Amino acid sequence: MNEEDLRKFIEFTKTLLTQLHGDPEHSWFFESFNLEIVNSFFQIGNNTTGLEKFQSITESDVNRIKAYLSFIDKKALNYGKVFYQNISDANLKTELIKDFKEMKIALKNDDIIEFGRRLSLQLENIFNFSLGCLNVHNLISTNPQQYRSIIPNWPNYRGNPFNFYNSFFSFNRNTNQHEPVELSRVSFNTKSIFLSIHFNYQVNARNINEIYFLRNKGSHRDQLSQNDQQTIDQIIASFDKNYSFYHKVLFDVVNGIPNIK
């Protein structure tokens, strides 16, 4: 590869990175680029110069990289389209497919934290859409006493009744009235439990709690307590064994909530 070819490659790389920059869908590419190219090519103390490294790159290598990225994107996207083919709302379907694709790419890159984040985004979008369709605040306000003491019809349930009124409404001291809480501010677990009771479906509580934990704690790993860090490490260590259960949570939610179809 001569100097002119190298300059063309630099321009190509610059153009590619500029086009992808700022698009969260390709954040995984920048991480991989930094790890595989920047770190490995320009390590301090490496006896092989950057120029010598680049001289080993051919146009065929570049084309293979582009083809691989396109293949991964397309394959993951098609999986999402099939999985969400029965979703009725076009905007919801678009968001779900986008996050499903990123979830699959994260899985391909062994990025368990990003996998959990993208999975939880899908679940929360489904929860919010379904609750909006139910007009949940109106539903609860028409019979507030009932929703202050809901006992789920779960086998061997021995826990306390759920007070959903206090979850979906907050007391405003200025108006001296209870007012609806924005769905985005209602906890993930509350929305999950409410819908599972309302539509009478079940998900594995441990697995959905682990998904929520990954989303909540995964992006703050440098600030975690020792116990939280141990939990993260345990989830990651057991991920290969539990992956199918995490996917089943998504499957159970999509098939258990009828008003998204």
Q: What is the pLDDT of residues 64-107, one digit of tens each?
A: 555 455 555 678 888 999 999 999 999 999 999 999 999 988 88
> What's 143's DSSP letter?
S
Q: Which residues contact 6 (CB under 8 A, 6 or more apart)?
A: 51, 54, 55
55-60: long-range contacts at Cβ-Cβ below 8 A with a sequence spacing of 24 or more? 55/1, 55/6, 56/1, 57/1, 57/9, 58/1, 59/5
For residue 161, CA distances in Å to 127, 141, 146, 170, 186 come to 21, 18, 11, 19, 18
Question: How many C-beta atoms lie closer than 10 Å to residue 10's C-beta?
Answer: 11
What pLDDT score does 44 carry?
A: 47
Helices marked H in the chain: 3-20, 27-33, 40-41, 50-55, 59-83, 90-108, 112-134, 136-141, 144-147, 164-168, 188-198, 205-217, 226-237, 239-256
What pLDDT score does 29 carry?
A: 72
Whether the CB-CB separation of 87 and 261 falls below 8 Å is answered with yes
Whether the CB-CB separation of 124 and 212 falls below 8 Å is answered with no
Question: How many C-beta atoms lie closer than 10 Å to residue 210's C-beta?
Answer: 22
Residue bearing tokens 């949940």: 136
Q: Kindly report the CA angle at 98 between 92 and 101, in degrees rounded to 5?
A: 135
Q: What is the pTM of this model?
A: 0.72
CA distance 11 to 16: 9
For 72, the token pair is 């991964």
Residue bearing tokens 């790389």: 13
What pLDDT score does 173 carry?
A: 87
For 78, the token pair is 């098609």
What pLDDT score does 232 carry?
A: 87
Domain ranges across the chain: 58-260
What pLDDT score does 130 carry?
A: 98
The segments of the chain whose pLDDT lies below 50 read: 44-45, 47, 67
Question: How many C-beta atoms lie closer than 10 Å to residue 168's C-beta?
Answer: 25
Interval 109-130: pLDDT, tens? 888 888 999 999 999 999 999 9
